[in-house]
Structure 1
């Protein structure tokens, strides 16, 4: 049987309790790998995340000449500084927008032309604002396929610095890409960010990484103007914290079941915008306790059910918008999320996807629009658990899959989900951690009946 046609049967859970380990931050790991590669000398990354997208970043950095060794619990990286050797003329970003965008900028300083490409989903994503900004700085980039999209050839030759303009409501990764390349320019680079600025936390994470690496960065309080100075990246030791986007699936599940859930590798000290999941569940009435010394989070849910009228602005934490939809499916009352317009440009149109799939479960959900695009959603819950017993689509997006997995846990009947192997993009042991909380699921073939048989569950290793 073709493995791509297999589905995952997610069984309803009777309770949720126990201890799980949150994966380390993907954005922090990727940024630290980049900064260590661009430093001449030896850097260490402690508590790094190992998944498809961080592996993709390592492959790309090795293509520049970095030596990256995976040790038990840390990475040893010997960076190349400005001495790019570009052993591979083609850099494949697969599905990672951050890898594609940062290397579109960094290869401006490569000694020979480079082709940067990605998978079918990435080749459909918006890239033109980044290319326009790089051209403004003096880069020489041509699109090989569709105009304004991947793949590209970067002809090298560097850029001098100067002033460029980027929109603030399309992707913070455009800003991050130019910030990482700008220290290699001869003159300071100014990035003017126009309009509403979304996902500010990711920009702040980039500023923090560059600062730790010894790069001079100045930013206005509202981040509408960022100035990056020429400089040499210096080696450093980076400590990666737990990932709040990944933790949101575990925290979201804890919010919809009474009980006590303990999550390891969690710190209350974080620049991640998705830390807002903590504020969300507190608002819903969940007790949240951090043990900073042991990097442990304890969630206590004493509620018979979630109830009330809630509204959240997710403009600085868009990656957990699908998770919020999964939680909202179990709130008796009105649950409203706005500020998620940027998610239409992610791996899937995420709000549209969640509205569609939760609708299949019988959830009373509708999309909310701003300037003609999906900006959020509103759920009007009546206190009854969704029926379930349907087949759900991940829309080719690992975050949609993981959110629908959570949404399926309290359905009255099991659901079938596709795309379950994509959890390797950011949360490789997703199923192991949910198994430790008492959740069961198993692979099934296409067309299998959605009955309520008591067959033995088979947990997966993604």
Structure 2
């Protein structure tokens, strides 16, 4: 049993590990670049370990130091692996590496754990087929394990039949410069988590590929080319930072996260303005963000479609607010590593918080 004792006051400055989302994207672009790149401050985690191990199976040399990784890109040349590529329950890596495998020659099997085999990937498969990729769900479920008989990307126009997962879209964008013909991508339906798509475009631009995008991200034109190697600095992870900002909010204390900038690539930093709406004081502090909690938190109504990873954080803060808070547009939480909407509701109820759960929203009744 672990005993957790409440603190009376928080006044802290913290440095957060690197962003997982940026690390995954920078790792892919560096692996596809023509030459060696150095990633400074990457996140070391199970997910990034799976990604880097899979890339090594595909012929990419990655030298991991304590503070940086040196990635020797192969200019888009992907080797056939000796064994199946196993990615656990890492949805981002599964979606990204599926497209990377399509650039190679030979057979690639992409697999994961029991939960990953329940997570859909059909829309990504459909879009890749539009670019000439021979890809199938081995169990015919629209989920991993996947078989890819790779011979490169044909390019031209393809359609992503839904935008409910920004990871599908980011996966396609990351590999599109290596298509035989200039690639065009159309997205049907509402696009969820647009900040993650913007992040992908920014990382691609830093590595030398500028993508033409419609303002609503429904259409993209991706020029052919090759990523340029570079030194890339990865900012702190905003999802991790959210817990520290939340601690300040619920305790009336002060926390500065000194390596997540105001002008961040990460959509999850938009939690900070929401905390301000609930009564927190927010300040830029050097290269970071400071949050000071109020005496009384106010309830909030928030559309969290673009920042699903900080929904649990906001839900906890809402439990300490006066009145009822509504968090909406979060149906996509149900197809994450677990059903995060149900899990958040369940854990809050265990702590005595009244929560109403719906298909795509939740209402938290604060104190």
TM (normalized to structure 1)? 0.76
Query: Equivalent of 2:242, from 236, 248, 254?
Result: 248
**Contact 1:216–1:231 (8 Å) recurs in 2:** no
Distance 1:18 1:56 in 2: 33
> How many aligned positions are there?
367
Distance 1:296 1:275 in 2: 11
Q: Which has the higher contact order (CA 8 A, sep 6+)?
A: 1
Q: What's 2:122 paired with?
A: 128
Query: Equivalent of 2:353, from 336, 348, 363?
Result: 363
Q: What's 1:336 paired with?
A: 326
Query: Equivalent of 2:263, from 264, 269, 293?
Result: 269
Decide which moves more: 101-110 or 15-24: 15-24
Distance 1:309 1:12 in 2: 23
Distance 1:80 1:173 in 2: 23
Q: What's 2:361 paired with?
A: 376
Give the C-alpha shift of residue 85 in structure 1. Answer: 2.4
SS at match of 2:347: helix
**Contact 2:20–2:43 (8 Å) recurs in 1:** yes
Distance 2:93 2:150 in 1: 17
**Contact 1:89–1:113 (8 Å) recurs in 2:** no
Give the C-alpha shift of residue 146 in structure 1. Answer: 4.4
Deviations 1:52-106 (A, max 9, x none): 1111111111122221112242111111113222343321111211111112112
2:278 is aligned with 1:284: yes
SS at match of 1:100: helix
Distance 2:103 2:299 in 1: 52
Give the C-alpha shift of residue 336 in structure 1. Answer: 1.3
Structure of higher CA gyration radius? 1
Q: What's 1:36 paired with?
A: 30
Residue ranges of structure 1 left out of the alignment (5+ in a row): 1-6, 369-373, 384-462
Distance 1:148 1:25 in 2: 29
**Contact 1:168–1:198 (8 Å) recurs in 2:** no
Indicate how the Cα distance of structure 1 residues 349 and 8 shifts in structure 2: closer, same or farther if over 3 A, else same: farther
Q: What's 1:322 paired with?
A: 312
RMSD: 1.7
Distance 1:227 1:27 in 2: 23
2:131 is aligned with 1:137: yes
Give the C-alpha shift of residue 300 in structure 1. Answer: 2.0
Give the C-alpha shift of residue 167 in structure 1. Answer: 4.1
2:289 is aligned with 1:297: yes
2:175 is aligned with 1:181: yes
Distance 1:327 1:164 in 2: 42
Decide which moves more: 21-30 or 11-20: 11-20
2:71 is aligned with 1:80: no
Residue ranges of structure 2 left out of the alignment (5+ in a row): none
Distance 2:210 2:288 in 1: 34
**Contact 1:262–1:296 (8 Å) recurs in 2:** yes
Distance 2:218 2:2 in 1: 44
Q: What's 1:211 paired with?
A: 205
Distance 2:165 2:2 in 1: 32
TM (normalized to structure 2)? 0.95
Give the C-alpha shift of residue 309 in structure 1. Answer: 3.7
**Contact 1:248–1:320 (8 Å) recurs in 2:** yes
Query: Equivalent of 2:157, from 158, 163, 166?
Result: 163
**Contact 2:88–2:113 (8 Å) recurs in 1:** yes
Q: What's 1:18 paired with?
A: 12
